[in-house]
Every structure is written in C-alpha cells, then in structure tokens.
Amino acid sequence: MTKRIRFSGEEYRLRMQKTLDAMSRAGIETLIVYDPSNMAWLTGYDGWSFYVHQCVVLNENGSIFWFGRGIDGAGARLTTYLSPEHILTYPDHYVQSSDCHPMDYLAAILADLGWGKGTIGVEKDNYYFSAKAMESLLTYLPDATFLDANSLVNWQRAVKSETEIDYMRRAARVIEKTYERILDVAEPGMRKNDLVAEIYHATIKGSDEFYGDYPAIVPLIGSGIEAAACHMTWDDGILEKDTGMFMELAGAYHRYHCPVSRTLYLGTPPDSYRRVEAAINECIEKTLVMFRPGNTCGEVASTFFEALRKCGYDKDNRCGYPIGLSYPPDWGERTMSLRAEDKTVLEAGMTFHFMPGLWFEDWGFEMTESVLVTEEGGECLAAVPRELFVK
C-alpha cells in the first residue's frame, strides 16, 4: 500500500516531543486534539472527515492514537505514520445519532487504558469540538479533571520547519499562477461566478511543478459597494466597468497556505484608489523590516499603524495573523495577532499573513503578503506584483 506521508518520522517525533513538553508545563496527562490542522500536524492525518467526530489522543507516556469513524480508518492508515493498532474507530451507528455519541465510545477506551481519572486537556474553543462532546466526556469520565488546551498544539506549530517552509513556497507558486489567470480573463461583463470558476481551476491546477490543494477559505471577492464588506463571496452578478474589486485568495500545497490579496479595477481608477495603493505600498515596505527575530507582534503592528496614520488613514482591526497548515473554515493558526497589545516575540521561521486591508463606507482595498520571519526582515513568499491591477 502506497502511503501519503508528507514529513519524515523524525519531524513527527520532534512535533510530538514539543507537544509533550507543553502538556507537562500545563499539567496535562492526556490530550484530546480535535482541530483537524493539529491532528494533521501531529500524525499526518488528511481527509475531509471533520464533519463527524474525530480526534488524536496523546498521553504523557508518549502513546498516541487516531480515533474516528470506521470508514475513515482507511484514510488514517494511508496518511498517518501510525501503526494499525494506533488507529481506533467507532461503529457507524454512533454517527449523527441522537441516542449515543462518539465521545461515549472514546471515554470507554480512555477508561480501559487507565487514563480516565487523570487530567485531560481538550480544545474547548475549537470549531469542531462541540458542547455535546464535552458533555459526553464529563458524563462518562466523572473522575477526570478537564483543562482547556485550546491552543496548546497551535502554539507548537508557530515556527516552521524547512520542509514546511518549502511547502509554503510551493503554495506561493500556485497563487502566482492564479493571479496570472485572473489578469488574463477578468473583464467587464463577466459574471462573478465565471471568474471564481477560473480562480478555482487555477488554484487547483497550480503550476507545472506543483499541484494546488484546496484552500481552507473559499475565494473572497467583493466588487463595487460589496468591497466594503471584507468577507463577501460571489453570486452571478456582473463585473461592471469602472468598478473596483478586492480578491482575498490563497494557494495551497499539501495543506500549507500562501494567502495573497490584491485589488483589481476595471477601467480607469479614481485618485482615491491610487492614493490608497501608494499608502499601503509605503506602509508595507516600512513594516517588512520589522519581521525580524526578537521584535514583537505588537512592534510590527505599531510600525504599520503609525505609518498608516501618517498617510492619512486609520484601521481599527489587526493587520495580520500566523498561517501555515490549515483546514476549513480558516487558514489562520489562531494564536498570535499583529496588533499593538500582542507581546509575542517573533522567531525565525514564523510565517504570517500581513493583512493591511482597508474598508471604507462604499468600497474596499486589499493588498496583502504572506511573510516569512528572517534575520534580514520579512520575506514575501509570493512574487505577485504589489500594485493595483487595472484592466
């Protein structure tokens, strides 16, 4: 059987050890990992099965197993480094049942292993870990102490390995090709859904060297007044002449992301667009040098916001967040934020979506970069021209 393993056994071993060390510091004996990105980072598991209950369980003694639906066990055998005895499944009558819950089944396994009376960490605020799952664990493991380990694994993912950075560089090649296709085909009179179809084709086709994986977020586009709403998707509306449109897109490779946003104007852009283009470009250049080890997220953000104010603009939301391995509904890592009050110290190998988007009353402008922290400052992973696109 050909397995789909993305990293070396040594890299997975180092990831586990980092997580075990973090568990020890937090006083956690057993960790239940629900986040699909964290599951993949720890074991390699990759499948569109996160709509049912699944998790990775790691014990302080170094024991680890994947737990999920019976029919997804084959996917775990194909994509993880785990041996078959560490792939545990539950019967299908537990799936979306009102009479029983998969966590009932897991609780019995934990009790049989002797882990049911210790301190168990759970990702309480993760998208996929439900209140019902927590209720089940509380009911069937009444002697356990539960601690919130919501971002424990996420923080271990902050500094990327050389292989992870290589995958993000490959994702960058994908998003470069995507924007090339957009500039080839976008034109007034085109339906938005037709443009998004071209975007999907380009992001999945990738480059001649590297395929495109599915991004964790669908293409976000807003044209005209809809560009004032930063998380709009498409409909069958027509792209109109003399209208601006932002596009927030990402290339992905082996689940690693490289988001890049740009703004396209169909026609002759008014001075308001050109002024924002110049301001954002100036602010990006002044801020990139701050993406050095030893600086804090807050110092990066303050540099950007101060430069932006000097250009006559204000932004009342963060200007970036960490990125890397991810699954829907978000390509962010949900740890640090590029905002003034975040004191997290940058380290070489961290990666961010530097996101200086601006949204006004009836229009918006996005021009963003995926940035790698290096000793020389921020390295932009993708070579998409940093300018207002005009057609």
Best CA proximity match to 218, nearest among 259, 168, 157 = 259
Cα–Cα distance for residue pair 206/182, rounded to 1 Å: 13
pLDDT higher than 70, residue 104: yes
Rg (C-alpha) for the chain, rounded Å, is 22
Provide the H-helix boundaries in 114-191. Answer: 131-140, 152-156, 162-185
Best CA proximity match to 161, nearest among 324, 33, 345 = 324
Q: Which whole number is the average pLDDT over 80-108?
A: 97
Q: Give the angle subtended at the CA of 167 by the CAs of 163 and 168, to the nearest 5°.
A: 115
pLDDT higher than 90, residue 2: no
If you average pLDDT over every residue of the chain, what do you get? 97
Considering the chain, what percentage of its residues have pLDDT values greater than 90? 99
**Using an 8 Å Cβ cutoff, are 307 and 282 in contact?**
yes
The pLDDT, as a whole number, for residue 128 is: 96
> H or E segment at 272?
helix 271-288
Cα–Cα distance for residue pair 21/14, rounded to 1 Å: 11
Q: Which whole number is the average pLDDT over 2-19?
A: 95
Cα–Cα distance for residue pair 243/363, rounded to 1 Å: 9
| Domain edges within the chain | 9-156, 162-390
Q: Which whole number is the average pLDDT over 93-116?
A: 97
Q: Which residue has the tokens 């283009």?
A: 277
One fold for 9-156 and 162-390: no
Convert the pLDDT of each residue in 20-73 to its tens digit: 999 999 999 999 999 999 999 999 999 999 999 999 999 999 999 999 999 999
Best CA proximity match to 283, nearest among 377, 357, 184, 388 = 357
> H or E segment at 76?
helix 73-79
The pLDDT, as a whole number, for residue 14 is: 98
* Domain 9-156, CATH class in plain words: alpha beta
Q: Is the pTM of this model over 0.85?
A: yes
Convert the pLDDT of each residue in 154-186 to its tens digit: 999 999 999 999 999 999 999 999 999 999 999
Q: Which whole number is the average pLDDT over 140-157?
A: 98
Best CA proximity match to 354, nearest among 326, 386, 329, 325 = 386
**Using an 8 Å Cβ cutoff, are 324 and 300 in contact?**
no
What is the amino acid identity at position 269? P
Q: Which whole number is the average pLDDT over 331-347?
A: 98
Q: Which whole number is the average pLDDT over 124-152?
A: 97
Q: Which whole number is the average pLDDT over 89-111?
A: 97
CATH number of 162-390: 3.90.230.10
Convert the pLDDT of each residue in 282-322 to its tens digit: 999 999 999 999 999 999 999 999 999 999 999 999 999 99
pLDDT higher than 70, residue 1: no
